[in-house]
Structure 1
Amino acid sequence: MPNKRIQIFDTTLRDGEQVPGCQLNTKEKIEIALALEALGVDVMEVGFPISSPGDFKSVQEISKVIKNTRVCALSRAVKNDIKVAAEAIEDAKNSRIHTGIGTSDSHVFDKLRTTREKVVERGVAAVKYAKTFVEDVEFYAEDAGRTENEFLAIILEEVIKAGATVLNIPDTTGYCMPWVYGEKIKYLYENVKGIQNVTISTHCHNDLGLATANSISGVVNGATQVECTMNGIGERAGNASLEEVVMILRQQKSLEYDTGINTRCLKSVSELVSEKMKMPVQANKAIVGANAFAHSSGIHQDGVIKNRETYEIIDPLEVGVSESSIVLTARSGRAALKFRGKRLGFEVSKNELEEHYKRFLSIADTKKVVTDKDLIQLFSQTSDSLTG
């Protein structure tokens, strides 16, 4: 029996670009959009067309060049927003409008200053209007994470009747614990009439560092689409990280899910997004960080040299990294020194290794990392002293 297909909805070019200082021009957005298509995302949300003429143009131009991936534009539950979004994606081969409204008490009563009944009316009207332009309409219940399940079920049932094809359940503030978010998805799946005929989507923020965990919990409890960004980039503390979500679902075979993502492109797309958005990826970032497959502890290095799987659960090649790296520091052991020396063309005996290691430690204690240049000099000098 084939694994259950989970759709990947990438919002790097919309939610990701909301990060201060990360604005992209149209050419840069097109370059990233093409890379995301090659990566294999199912849907890419490429902008909020009503927000500015520049964003409208970018969405419009991306729609012209993307061949297979569904192109999505965001709108509020406002007629003109929806109309402009539809115009922007008019040339897309596969298109979607993503519209919605806040549903938590904070959004309904404080931000919108209205009633729950009016919110339902506006949500239904937005979906119906969007359906006059496109078949595929996604409805987001903003701040669903803090919305009472009973009211959430009511509005979702109504927008399904209005024609929504995808229901987005955002943890907008990143407040939910994984089991709470999972229980919310499960509750909706069991209590909303017609929900089995539409796609349930997660959209989790990382304010408490739980975006990826919440997304996985959502999937386990019935969601079949995950909204995420490359490198986890996004407003405030960011969004669920695409590379993390994809590799969790790939590595955890017992879950029996498949995303269809070409994982060997993850590293290159991560680097592209980082470069264009001027947002460095932290070194210890899971999957794509510089240290994700680096080992500097002597005990770990010895294990990896003997069998990579001793300390690595992912083959680096699977995510586009050429190989694991043995980084030499003052915490490194003899096995790592010998390993790196051999790679540089130096074969040493057990007795020679001891002499090399003593000199290595004296260098390592004064430097953060011992480089190949340092090693060549070390091995050459030590060899001369041993033969002289």
Structure 2
Amino acid sequence: MENKRVQIFDTTLRDGEQVPGCKLNTKEKVIIAKKLEDLGVDVIEAGFPISSPGDYQSVQEICKSVSKTVVCALSRAVEKDIKIAGEALKYANNPRIHTGIGTSNYHILYKFNSTKEKIIERAILSVKYAKKFVEDVEFYAEDAGRTENCFLAKVCESVIKYGATVINIPDTTGYCLPEEYGEKIRFLKENVKGIHKVTLSTHCHNDLGLATANSLFGIMNGAQQVECTINGIGERAGNTSLEEIVMIIKQNSHLNMFTNINTKLISSTSRLVSECTGMNIQANKAIVGVNAFSHSSGIHQDGVIKKRETYESINPEDIGINNSSIILTARSGRAALNYRYKKLGFFLNKNSLNLVYSIFLKHADKKKEITDKELKIILEKANLNNKMLYISDRRNCNHKKINVM
């Protein structure tokens, strides 16, 4: 069976930037956009040009700065929005306008005070107008997660007829369960005339912690594009995390899917986005959190030291991290302590290790973590009874005489 390529649509610079407290200037956006192109994303959603002069300028500058990646600009189903988006994209080698409208009853009745018929009419008009500026037009059915499938299918069929090239099915409020979202995608694949002509896209939010799972079920049921952000940033609880969906696909060959992402750049891209946005990455964040490849439990440390795969399903080198971290705490055992001393160039025999370990535990009970500096202090503290111990420092090709208790 031939593997299916999943396109990665990155909206870090648009949906990701909508986080309260996160503001990127044009220079920072261009730097991130270049990094995203190096990373291998298929589409960069560069911004929402009508929203501000700064966003308009950022989209223009990104268009000038990237050459291969599709550059996308967001708009509402409003002529002025679409016109501004088209103008902002004029320097792009591969421009795309992303336009759309809400399709759920919540949006139709309460946001637009409209009817289903008028919503379809506005959807068609927006796509027809966008086609005057670019060939590649993506249509989003906002709040598709809470939209009745039959009406959603009608909307999709209508915009495909008038030239939409990508159909985006957002779970805007993070409402869907994975199986439910997957069934929605499958329903559209099986019931929308002309669906085979377009790319079907997922765009999931993380309000219930299901964004990545929903995106996964979406592509398993026929979607070909995932809209996501670096570090999963985005409004409220955030968006599907790029690093999560990409590594799920990479690690699970039975899915018969692949992306064009250079995963070795994931860690550095994650850090760049965090630094520029000022949005810290939570320590236990999957893939890119500081604790993702850190081990402090003695049992886990012993297993990882003997064979990494014992407690790690992902090789840290695959995302650009040199190795796993063995963190020394009061829960660490002799194997971890010995491992860390070897990293420092000290090779302890069994008796020496037992002696040093007893001192280590006294220190570890008082601290959250024992550092390399403190490990050397612990060796020096073994000098109490003037008992001589020789510890080989192979790194420096000499021997250190250490007095231990």
Which range, TM-score by smaller chain? over 0.9
Q: Does 1:43 align with 2:57?
A: no
Q: Which residue of the partner structure matches residue 256 of structure 1? A: 256
Distance 1:185 1:371 in 2: 50
Q: Which moved more, 1:248-257 or 1:336-345?
A: 336-345
Q: Does 1:77 align with 2:86?
A: no
Answer with 1 or 2: which has the greater Rg. Answer: 2
Q: Does 1:125 align with 2:121?
A: no
Superposed CA offset, 1:342-378 (max 9, x none):
1112221111111111100000000000000010111
**TM-score, normalisation: structure 2:** 0.95
Distance 1:302 1:332 in 2: 9
Q: Which residue of the partner structure matches residue 371 of structure 1? A: 371
Distance 1:151 1:200 in 2: 17
SS of 1:121's equivalent? helix
Q: Which residue of the partner structure matches residue 393 of structure 2? A: none
Distance 2:139 2:39 in 1: 25
What letter matches 1:364 in structure 2? A
Distance 1:373 1:162 in 2: 67
Identity of aligned residues (%): 66
Superposed CA offset, 1:268-304 (max 9, x none):
0000000000000011111111011000000000001
Distance 2:333 2:201 in 1: 48
Distance 1:213 1:205 in 2: 10
What letter matches 2:50 in structure 1? I
**TM-score, normalisation: structure 1:** 0.99
Conserved in 2, the CA contact under 8 Å of 1:46 and 1:59? yes
Superposed CA offset, 1:18-42 (max 9, x none):
0111111100000000000000000
Q: Which residue of the partner structure matches residue 300 of structure 1? A: 300
SS of 2:382's equivalent? helix
Q: Which residue of the partner structure matches residue 359 of structure 2? A: 359
Q: Which residue of the partner structure matches residue 15 of structure 1? A: 15
What letter matches 2:177 in structure 1? M
Distance 1:63 1:345 in 2: 50
Q: Which residue of the partner structure matches residue 139 of structure 1? A: 139
Distance 1:219 1:31 in 2: 30
SS of 1:46's equivalent? strand
What letter matches 1:126 in structure 2? S
Q: Which residue of the partner structure matches residue 382 of structure 1? A: 382
Find runs of 4+ consecutive structure 1 residues off by over 6 angstroms.
Answer: none
SS of 1:100's equivalent? strand
Mind listing any 5+ residue stretches in structure 1 that lack a counterpart?
A: none
Task: Report the CA distance between 1:381 and its aligned residue.
Answer: 2.8
SS of 1:118's equivalent? helix
Superposed CA offset, 1:216-257 (max 9, x none):
000000000000000000000000000000000000110011
Matches within 5 A, 1:261-340: 261-340=261-340
Distance 2:151 2:254 in 1: 34
What letter matches 1:382 in structure 2? A
What letter matches 1:38 in structure 2? D
Distance 2:158 2:205 in 1: 26
Q: Does 1:110 align with 2:110?
A: yes
What letter matches 2:254 in structure 1? S
SS of 1:168's equivalent? strand
What letter matches 2:28 in structure 1? E
Report the aligned-residue RMSD. Answer: 0.9
Mind listing any 5+ residue stretches in structure 2 that lack a counterpart?
A: 389-402
Matches within 5 A, 1:128-167: 128-167=128-167
Q: Which residue of the partner structure matches residue 347 of structure 2? A: 347
